[in-house]
C-alpha cells in the first residue's frame, strides 16, 4: 500500500484556476456584449476607410463631376532598385520639378522608400513605372475629381484640392455633404469586426444647371469674347420662378480638371464674386419702385434738357440730346440719364436706396456657392458719401454689384415682383436615404405683380425700339442695356467700358432671365454688343427648355 501524499497548496491552485476561468469567461462576455463603437475606440492605431466624394449631376441627370481615380501615387523601394543613378537620369524628364527631391531621397541612406509622385497623371506614372523593376515600384491609384464640363463650368463647380477638400464654387459650399463621413477599421492587421465602422459615402448633388445649355452658352460667350476682343465676360441664365441657375459662365475661366495650372486669380467666379457698375440696367429698378409707390406712372413726363446739374456735377444724356417732354417709356427706351436722375430725385434718396436693397443689390443673394461678394453701395451719411453720388447712382454709376445680383433683381420683375434666392442645387441624394428636394426660397414681394407686368411691357418696348439686337425670332423679349464706365481700371490712361444687357423672355410669363456682360469690348455700347448675345443665348435657352414661341407671325 502506497503512502498518502499531502498537497497543501492545492486549494490555491483551485482558486487560481477558478479565477482564470472567471477572467476568460468575463472577457468572452465583454467582447460579445460590448458595442461596436466602444470596441473601435479601444483599437489604436486605426485605419481610415475613406468615403467616395459625392458626384454632381445636372438637372436632367447627366454627369457634371465625379471621382475618377486617374491620379497615381508612385513609390520606389530603394533596396530593390539596382541602379538608382541610372533610374534618376532616365526618369528626370518625367519628374520635372520633383527631380531634385527624388535625387535627395535616393541619396539619403536613411530613406528606404521614395515617394516619386504623390499625385501624378497616368502618363507620368506609367513612364516612371517602366523605368524601374516591377518589384521595386508601387503604383497606387488615388481618388481625383473629373469635371465633365471642364472650363465651361469651372467657376461654378470649383475644384477639390489635394487634401480632398472642396475649394470655391459648389465644391466648397457643399463640401460637408459631398465629402461624406470616414469609416475605420482596427488597423492594417486588425480583424475585430466590432471595431469596423463603415464609411458613409458623400452625398450626390443634382444641380439646377443644364449641362448642354451650360456648354452652349460657354461657346457663345467665348466666340463673342473673341470677336469683340473683350478682356472678359459673364452670362447668367436664371429661371425666375424658382431662382434656378440654368447656366452661369464667365471668361476667362480655368479647367478644374487641371486647376493647378491656372492663375489663382481665376478661381473666383466673376458671376458672384466680382463687382461692376451696372450702368443703365439699374434704371428699371428705380422706376419700378416709383411706379409701385404711385409716385410716377409709365406716362409721367419730365422736361429732358440733355443735361442735369445736381449737387455740383453735371449729368448728361448718353446722346447729349435734349428730348423735351419725355415719358418714362422714352426714358427707358433711350436710356436717358437725365430722366433717371429725375426718377431717383422724385423717389427720394431714402426710398431709392431702400428699393435697391429690396431688389437685393449691395448684399449677398444667398446663392449656395462659395465666394459670393456683397457688392458695394455707399449709402447717404456713410463714410465717403457725397451728394453727387445719388445722381450717379441713379443711372447705375458709382455703385458696384455682382452680375448675379443684377440678374436676380431683373428676375424679380420677371417673377411678378417676387424675389427668389438664386440656387444651383435642387436635390441632395445622401447615401442610403431618400432624395431630399431643395425647395425654392422666396425672399420678398418687392413690387406688386401689376407693377412687374407694367415694367415687363416697358422693357419689351425697349427691345422693340432701341435694343433691337435683343429681339428673338419667335419669342417676345424685354430687357435693358447698360454701358458703364470703369475709371482706367487697366492703367492704359483711358476709362474702360462694360457693356451689358439684362433681359427675359417670353414677356407675358418669363421662363428665363439672361444677363450678358462684356468687359472692355471694342463695340462699346451695350445695345450693340451685349444685346445680340442675349438674343443668341435666349434662342438656345428656348430650345433647351422647349419654350414655344409667343410672337404672332407678323411680328417676326
Partner 1 sequence: MIAPRGGARSGTPAGGVPSHGSRPHEAAHRRAAATTRPDASPYLDRRPPVAALAPTVLVAVLGFTMAGLLWVRQANSVADTGRAIAHLLERREALLMQRAAARVALAQATDPGGLADRARGLGFVPVEEAAVEVVVVTADAAPAGSAALAEPGRRSPLELIVPPSDVPTADADEPSLSAIPLSFWQALEPSP
Give me 417's grid cell.
415682383
Residue 133 touches partner 1, criterion: CB under 8 A: no
| Residue among 82, 97, 134, 191 that touches partner 1 (CB under 8 A) | 191
Judged by CB under 8 A, the chain residues 517 through 546 that form the site for partner 1 are 536, 539-540, 542-544, 546
Measured in residues, the chain has a length of 556
Residue 25 touches partner 1, criterion: CB under 8 A: yes
- Whether cis (ω within 30° of 0) applies to the bond prior to 470 is no
Q: How far apart are CA 213 and CA 1, in angstroms?
A: 107
Q: Given the rule CB under 8 A, which of 15-23, 367-375, 417-425, 435-443 is the region that contacts partner 1?
A: 15-23
Residue 6 touches partner 1, criterion: CB under 8 A: yes
Residue 21 touches partner 1, criterion: CB under 8 A: yes
Q: How far is the CB of 114 from partner 1 (least distance, A)?
A: 25
Q: How far apart are CA 468 and CA 532, in angstroms?
A: 8
Q: Which residues contact 30 (CB under 8 A, 6 or more apart)?
A: none
Q: Given the rule CB under 8 A, which of 18-26, 174-182, 439-447, 493-501 is the region that contacts partner 1?
A: 18-26
Query: Residue 484's closest CA among 306, 283, 314, 307?
Result: 283
Residue 24 touches partner 1, criterion: CB under 8 A: yes
Residue 332 touches partner 1, criterion: CB under 8 A: no
Judged by CB under 8 A, the chain residues 463 through 502 that form the site for partner 1 are 473-475
Residue 14 touches partner 1, criterion: CB under 8 A: yes
Residue 550 touches partner 1, criterion: CB under 8 A: yes
Q: How far apart are CA 163 and CA 260, in angstroms?
A: 13
Q: How far apart are CA 496 and CA 485, in angstroms?
A: 6
Contact 201, 52 (CB under 8 A): yes
Give the up-direction half-sphere exposure of residue 407: CA atoms within 13 A in the CB hemisphere.
32
* Binding mask of the shown chain, residues 39 to 58, with x at each position contacting partner 1 by CB under 8 A: ----------x--x--x---
SS3 86: helix
Which residue, 24 or 111, has its beta carbon nearer to partner 1? 24
| Helix residue ranges per DSSP H, 256-336 | 270-273, 283-292, 328-333
Q: Given the rule CB under 8 A, which of 188-196, 266-274, 282-290, 516-524 is the region that contacts partner 1?
A: 188-196
Residue 36 touches partner 1, criterion: CB under 8 A: no
Q: How far apart are CA 409 and CA 455, in angstroms?
A: 13
Helix%, strand%, coil% for the chain, nearest 5: 40, 25, 35
Judged by CB under 8 A, the chain residues 211 through 240 that form the site for partner 1 are 212-213, 215-217, 219-220, 222-223, 226
Q: How far is CA 331 from the centre of its chain?
A: 35
Tell me the site size for partner 1, rule CB under 8 A: 66
Which residue, 185 or 330, has its beta carbon nearer to partner 1? 185
Residue 431 touches partner 1, criterion: CB under 8 A: no
Residue 7 touches partner 1, criterion: CB under 8 A: yes
3-state secondary structure 155-170: HHHCEECCCCCEECHH
CA 118 vs CA 80, 114, 138, 163: distances in Å: 20, 10, 12, 11
Residues that bind partner 1 (CB under 8 A): 3-8, 10-11, 13-14, 17-18, 20-21, 24-25, 27-28, 31-32, 49, 52, 55, 62-63, 66-69, 141, 146, 148, 185-186, 190-194, 196, 212-213, 215-217, 219-220, 222-223, 226, 473-475, 536, 539-540, 542-544, 546-551, 553
Amino acid at each position: 500500500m502506497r503512502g498518502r501524499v499531502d498537497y497543501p497548496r492545492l486549494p490555491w491552485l483551485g482558486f487560481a484556476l477558478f479565477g482564470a476561468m472567471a477572467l476568460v469567461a468575463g472577457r468572452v462576455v465583454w467582447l460579445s456584449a460590448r458595442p461596436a463603437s466602444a470596441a473601435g475606440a479601444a483599437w489604436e492605431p486605426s485605419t481610415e476607410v475613406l468615403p467616395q466624394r459625392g458626384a454632381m449631376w445636372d438637372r436632367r441627370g447627366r454627369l457634371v463631376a465625379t471621382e475618377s481615380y486617374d491620379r497615381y501615387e508612385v513609390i520606389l523601394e530603394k533596396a530593390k532598385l539596382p541602379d538608382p543613378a541610372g533610374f534618376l537620369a532616365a526618369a528626370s524628364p518625367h519628374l520635372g520639378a520633383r527631380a531634385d527631391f527624388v535625387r535627395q531621397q535616393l541619396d539619403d541612406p536613411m530613406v528606404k522608400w521614395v515617394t516619386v509622385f504623390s499625385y501624378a497623371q497616368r502618363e507620368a506614372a506609367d513612364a516612371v513605372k517602366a523605368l524601374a523593376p516591377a518589384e521595386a515600384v508601387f503604383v497606387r491609384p488615388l481618388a481625383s475629381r473629373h469635371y465633365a464640363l471642364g472650363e465651361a463650368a469651372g467657376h461654378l463647380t470649383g475644384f477639390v484640392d489635394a487634401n480632398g477638400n472642396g475649394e470655391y464654387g459648389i465644391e466648397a459650399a457643399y463640401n460637408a455633404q459631398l465629402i461624406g463621413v470616414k469609416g475605420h477599421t482596427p488597423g492594417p492587421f486588425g480583424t475585430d469586426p466590432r471595431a469596423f465602422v463603415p464609411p458613409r459615402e458623400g452625398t450626390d448633388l443634382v444641380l439646377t444647371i443644364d449641362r448642354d445649355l451650360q456648354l452652349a452658352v460657354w461657346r457663345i460667350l467665348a466666340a463673342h469674347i473673341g470677336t469683340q476682343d473683350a478682356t472678359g465676360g459673364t452670362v447668367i441664365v436664371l429661371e425666375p420662378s424658382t431662382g434656378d441657375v440654368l447656366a452661369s459662365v464667365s471668361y476667362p475661366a480655368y479647367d478644374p480638371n487641371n486647376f493647378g495650372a491656372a492663375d489663382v486669380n481665376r478661381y473666383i467666379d466673376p458671376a458672384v464674386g466680382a463687382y461692376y457698375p451696372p450702368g443703365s440696367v439699374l434704371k428699371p429698378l428705380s422706376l419700378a419702385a416709383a411706379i409701385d409707390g404711385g409716385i410716377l406712372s409709365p406716362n409721367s413726363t419730365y422736361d429732358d434738357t440733355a443735361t442735369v446739374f445736381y449737387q455740383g456735377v453735371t449729368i448728361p444724356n448718353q446722346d447729349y440730346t435734349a428730348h423735351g417732354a419725355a415719358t418714362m417709356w422714352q426714358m427707358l427706351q433711350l436710356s436717358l440719364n437725365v430722366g433717371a436722375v429725375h426718377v431717383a430725385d422724385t423717389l427720394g434718396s431714402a426710398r431709392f436706396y431702400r428699393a435697391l436693397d429690396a431688389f437685393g443689390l449691395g448684399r449677398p443673394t444667398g446663392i449656395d456657392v462659395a465666394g459670393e461678394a456683397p457688392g458695394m453701395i455707399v449709402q447717404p451719411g456713410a463714410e465717403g458719401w457725397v451728394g453727387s453720388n445719388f445722381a450717379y447712382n441713379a443711372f447705375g454709376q458709382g455703385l458696384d454689384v455682382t452680375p448675379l445680383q443684377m440678374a436676380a433683381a431683373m428676375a424679380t420683375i420677371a417673377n411678378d415682383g417676387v424675389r427668389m434666392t438664386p440656387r444651383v442645387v435642387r436635390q441632395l441624394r445622401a447615401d442610403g436615404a431618400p432624395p431630399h428636394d431643395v425647395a425654392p426660397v422666396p425672399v420678398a414681394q418687392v413690387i406688386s405683380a401689376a407693377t412687374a407686368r407694367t415694367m415687363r411691357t416697358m422693357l419689351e418696348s425697349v427691345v422693340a425700339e432701341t435694343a433691337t439686337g435683343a429681339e428673338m425670332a419667335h419669342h417676345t423679349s424685354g430687357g435693358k442695356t447698360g454701358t458703364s464706365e470703369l475709371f482706367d481700371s487697366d492703367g492704359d490712361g483711358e476709362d474702360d467700358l462694360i457693356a451689358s444687357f439684362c433681359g427675359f423672355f417670353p414677356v407675358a410669363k418669363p421662363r428665363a432671365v439672361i444677363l450678358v456682360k462684356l468687359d472692355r469690348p471694342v463695340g462699346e455700347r451695350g445695345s450693340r454688343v451685349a444685346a445680340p448675345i442675349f438674343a443668341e443665348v435666349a434662342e438656345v435657352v428656348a430650345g433647351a427648355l422647349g419654350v414655344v414661341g409667343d410672337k404672332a407671325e407678323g411680328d417676326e
